[in-house]
Amino acid sequence: MKRLLLIVLTILLVGSSSVYAKYKIDHLEPAFWWTGMKNTNLQLLVHGENIADLKPELNYTGVSIMKVSRVSNTNYLFVDLKLSESAKAGSFDILFKKGTKTILKYEYQLLERKAGSAERLSYTPADVMYLITPDRFANGNKANDSVEGLREGLDRESKNGRHGGDIQGMIDHLDYISDMGFTSIWSTPLLENKQINSYHGYAITDYYKIDPRIGTNEDYRRLSKLAKENGIGIIMDVVLNHCGSGHWWMKDLPSKDWINNEGDFTSCTHKRTTVQDKYASKEDLKQFSDGWFVKGMPDLNQRNEFMAKYLIQNTIWWIEYADLYGLRVDTYPYSDSKFLTEWTGRLLEEYPNLNIVGEEWSLNPAIISYWQKGKVNKNGYVSYLPSLMDFPLQNALVEGLTQEDTWGTGLIKLYEMLVNDVQYPDPNNLVIFPDNHDMPRIFNQLNKDYDLYRMAMTYFLTMRGIPQIYYGTEILANSDAGGDHGLLRMDFPGGWEGDEVNAFTGKGLGTQEKEAQYFLKKLLNWRKTSTVIHEGKLMHYAPELGIYSYFRYTDKGKVMVILNKNTESVHVETERYHEMLSNHTAAKDIITGKIFQLNEGIEVPARSAMILEIK
């Protein structure tokens, strides 16, 4: 009898443990949070086998569970917490119970928010961004070139393969970036991309994890800290519209509406204008907004309230965790427009000074200005996005320098493009650039004409807005690859052991490459201290006979810029500029140091740009 009872008890215990063994937590995000946030609500995504069968409980002063939401997939719970002002930094257990029995527990941490975090400063027209594709910049840690469990290892011979650049490579060359005169780094995404041909970083498979081939979360924090010590802020590239098809949740979606088109690939039309087109059909709008960017990048449904909160909290988490200087947002108008208002609004609620630049690749300023904070749109749409990439100005610069000067072509393109600034609430906060990671290098766009290159760089570093320079531009990086992104994103010379050319030290660079690097370094470091360029108003004069000139000015100083496209030097009389030059007698060329007496006119060399500080 005793033996039979023992057998029965054993069966019950084994059966009981096997029942409880079916529960587990695979993901709980965000894994920790901070006290002292403006918004005191926090939603946890909990993912694990049959987790929805369990009830979460906790006991910690200042923290309470407001709501527990279950969705169609029983492997998910969404737990809404309230963090009151009395909540202190510390750790506590979240218990997951079946009836009265605790089945699982998770130790959750609340960290103390860094003093002044909410008031953090961000990038302004005083900055110049250095855009880096990390995999192609420098390999600082060869030990992480190939990582077990990730589909791609090192393959430097493949244009679309992993070349081994990483966070340590950026850290190793912070002194170079600082010495050149850059004040911030925008790197293409660093988060995990666990799929093929994703070295670029835009197919994210884990929103809370740095890709192990790039480094670790702690490495990213260290980069931010060391960069700040070198006078450089870190700008994170945020991807809201899509994830990678290899993301962990793609194998176990919370609900059918987590991904647009119920998780089935439907190609995006890329007709971005449908968002603001008063005549657009609903069908065209749906095909644009719900279509996938490409097959390997599932389109996130931000109309799903849990997805929206997940993305908002994830961005805030990285700002706090990595002490970020600002954000750049990929494929901005592809996301749901109402969500974008909510996302930007929440971020600016926590960080009123935060600058965020969105990518809207259009050559029409009316399309771009729709998204800038402060724009009064006729359809009533309200945006809180502070900045946008100025693609129209980039295109106008290339056309202005490469076209023959006639009544409607050449330099007049630059002059007339600026009239569109009336459409922007804040044109000074636009990000301006000669090229980026998705287009041919500026040296190629200018037909490898070094004189035009110098004119272009002078223009972008003295024009209104916040300049961004792509890595390698300082050494005349060029590629005849057309639209082949794998070739456009070249390895930076000297970033790999054994490189015959080292642009960090100058070893092996050609004469013209060294000259370009020196020129840009001098221009950048001058700009760094020029408050007239940072804060000044703009006045320009219509192009005449191949000459285009403009002024940046404040009550305390003036800078005159002259572009001369002519194949001969031109003597510029100063009488035309009496509004700006009256009561001034001399000007100094900031590149050569030469002093000009203004009453004698200014001799501008052929095919050159001149920057004059007015005395």
**Separation CA 189–CA 134 (nearest Å):** 8
Amino acid 582: pLDDT: 92
Please name the residues in contact with 355: beta carbons below 8 A apart, sequence gap of 6 or more.
122, 123, 124, 326, 327, 386, 387, 429
Token pair of 327 as six digits: 């954000």
CB atoms within 10 A of CB 337: 19
Amino acid at residue number 358: G
The verdict on whether 330 is a catalytic residue reads yes
The residue from 299, 359, 405, 491 that is catalytic is 359
Own/partner long-range contacts of 188-194 (Cβ < 8 Å, ≥24 apart): 188/131, 188/132, 188/133, 188/134, 188/237, 188/437, 189/236, 189/237, 189/238, 189/239, 189/330, 190/134, 190/214, 190/215, 190/220, 190/236, 190/237, 193/244, 193/246, 194/149, 194/150, 194/151, 194/244, 194/246
Q: What are phi and psi of 101, to 5 degrees?
A: -95, 130
In which residue ranges of the chain is CATH 3.20.20.80 found?
129-243+304-531
**Fold topology of 22-111:** Immunoglobulin-like (2.60.40)
Positions in the chain whose pLDDT score sits under 50: 1-17
At residue 222, the 3 state secondary structure works out as helix
The CATH H-level superfamily of 533-614 is Golgi alpha-mannosidase II (2.60.40.1180)
In which residue ranges of the chain is CATH 2.60.40.1180 found?
533-614
Amino acid 615: pLDDT: 87
The verdict on whether 497 is a catalytic residue reads no
Task: From 418, 325, 428, select the one nearest 372 (Cα to Cα).
Answer: 428
Burial of 386 (0-12, 13-18, 19+ CB in 10 A): buried
Gyration radius from the chain CA atoms: 28
The residue from 330, 336, 360, 421 that is catalytic is 330
Q: What are phi and psi of 295, to 5 degrees?
A: -65, -35
**Separation CA 470–CA 522 (nearest Å):** 17
CB atoms within 10 A of CB 575: 9
Amino acid 487: pLDDT: 84
Q: Is the pTM higher than 0.75?
A: yes
State whether CATH 3.40.50.300 applies to domain 129-243+304-531. no
Amino acid 15: pLDDT: 39
In which residue ranges of the chain is CATH 2.60.40.10 found?
22-111
Amino acid 19: pLDDT: 57
DSSP 418: G
Task: From 334, 523, 290, 328, select the one nearest 437 (Cα to Cα).
Answer: 328
Task: From 198, 315, 334, 307, select the one nearest 253 (Cα to Cα).
Answer: 307
